[in-house]
A and B are shown apart, each in its own frame.
Chain A
Amino acid sequence: MHEGSVCREIVDIVTEAAALNDITKVYEIVISVGEYSCVNESQLNFYFDVMKRDTCMEEAYIRIEKDVSITGPTQMYVKTFKGE
C-alpha cells in the first residue's frame, strides 16, 4: 500500500527526530505495524534504499515489528531508531 509515500514519510520523520537529538548517522529504524497493516516489506525496502541516499540514513536499514496491540485505521508507527 503506497510504499513510496509511506517511505517518504518515514524518511521525513526520522530526519526531523535525528536533527532534534543531534544524531548524524542512523543505523536501524524500527517500524511497528498492526496485525492488519498492508505494507509490503520488500517494496518498502526498495524505496528506502533509493530515498536514504545523501541523508543521515545512508547506512540504515528498516526493521518491521508486528504489534498486535495496534488497532484501528492507524496501523504503522516509526517506533525507534538507533544512531550516533
Chain B
Amino acid sequence: MKTITVNRNVLIKNDELAQQTREMLAAKGIRMINFLGTPGSGKTTVLENVLASPEIDKSRIAVIEGDLFTDLDAQRMAEIGVRTIQLNTEGACHLEADMVQHGLEELDLDGIDTVVVDNIGNLVCTAAFQIGAHMRVCVASTTEGNDKPLKYPNMFATANVVLLNKIDLAPYTNFDIDRFICDVKKLNPDVEIHLCTAYKNEGLEPVVKLFANK
C-alpha cells in the first residue's frame, strides 16, 4: 500500500481558465469586477445608478449580465447605454470561468477599460467559482437579516468591497448594522464596507469613484 500526495485544487480546471482570463484582460489594460450577492439585494440597481452618473464615461465600461433564463437585467443596462451582453446559465446557479470567457469573446472590448459581471444572485457557489475578475463587490441588503456573513462566510471573506444596501428599509427590520459590519470585518479585516440606498441613488459615491478611477 502506497500513499500518494496530490494536493490538487478540485476546481483547478475552472481556476486555470479564470487565471488565463485575468491575465488576458490585464494585458489589455482592462480590469474586471465581479458583482455578487443575494437575488434582489440590488446589484443591478447599484450598477444602473452608478453607470448613469455624469462622472462615469459609459463608453469605457461593458457589462456581462448573468441570469438563469431572462435578459431583463441586460435590457436595463442597454437602456442606460452601456455595452452589454447576456449570459444565460439555463438554470445553473453561478457563472463559471468558461462561460465568462465565451462572453468576453463576444463582447467588443475596443476602448473598454472596465468589465462588470453582474453575477447570478447566490451567496454560495458564486464565491467558490472564480471567473477571472480582479475585484469582488458583494451587495447585501438590510432585508436579508444580519446573519448572512456568518452563514455565508466565503462570500464575505473573499469580497474586496461590501455594499450594505436598502438602508432606507433598515428601520422597518431588526437588521443590526453595527453587528453586520463587525461580523464582516472579523471575516475580512481589509474589506471596504459602504452603506447605501441604491434606488434613491444615496451612498453610491464610493462605487462611482471605484468605477471612475482606473
Which residues does A use to contact B, with CB under 8 Å?
A: 1-2, 6, 9-10, 13-14, 17-18, 21, 23, 27, 31, 34-38, 71-84
Task: Kindly list chain B residues whose C-beta atoms are within 8 Å of the C-beta of A18.
Answer: 4
Q: Is the interface of B mostly helix, strand, loop or mixed?
A: mixed
Q: Which of B1-51 contact A (CB under 8 A)?
A: 1-13, 15
- Closest CB of chain A to B183's CB: distance in Å? 13
B153 touches A36 (CB 8 A): yes
Task: Kindly list chain A residues whose C-beta atoms are within 8 Å of the C-beta of B5.
Answer: 79-80
Which residues does B use to contact A, with CB under 8 Å?
A: 1-13, 15, 124-125, 127-130, 153-154, 157-158
Choose one: B15, B128, B130; the contact of A1 (CB below 8 Å): B128
B124 touches A36 (CB 8 A): no
A1 touches B125 (CB 8 A): yes
Task: Kindly list chain B residues whose C-beta atoms are within 8 Å of the C-beta of A84.
Answer: 1-2
- Closest CB of chain B to A12's CB: distance in Å? 9
Task: Kindly list chain B residues whose C-beta atoms are within 8 Å of the C-beta of A83.
Answer: 1-2, 4
A1 touches B124 (CB 8 A): yes
Task: Kindly list chain B residues whose C-beta atoms are within 8 Å of the C-beta of A31.
Answer: 10
A17 touches B154 (CB 8 A): no
B1 touches A77 (CB 8 A): no
Task: Kindly list chain A residues whose C-beta atoms are within 8 Å of the C-beta of B15.
Answer: 74
A35-B153, A36-B153, A36-B154 known; A82 vs B9 contact (CB < 8 Å): no
B6 touches A27 (CB 8 A): no
Cα A33 to Cα B38 in complex, Å, equals 24
Cα A9 to Cα B10 in complex, Å, equals 6
Task: Kindly list chain A residues whose C-beta atoms are within 8 Å of the C-beta of B10.
Answer: 6, 9-10, 13, 31, 76-78
- Closest CB of chain A to B146's CB: distance in Å? 18
- Closest CB of chain B to A44's CB: distance in Å? 10
A76-B10, A82-B3, A84-B1 known; A38 vs B124 contact (CB < 8 Å): yes
Task: Kindly list chain B residues whose C-beta atoms are within 8 Å of the C-beta of A71.
Answer: 157
Choose one: A6, A23, A34; the contact of B4 (CB below 8 Å): A23
- Give the residue name and chain of the A residue nearest to B158 (CB): A73
Cα A77 to Cα B9 in complex, Å, equals 4
A36 touches B157 (CB 8 A): yes
Cα A84 to Cα B4 in complex, Å, equals 10
Task: Kindly list chain A residues whose C-beta atoms are within 8 Å of the C-beta of B4.
Answer: 17-18, 21, 23, 80-83
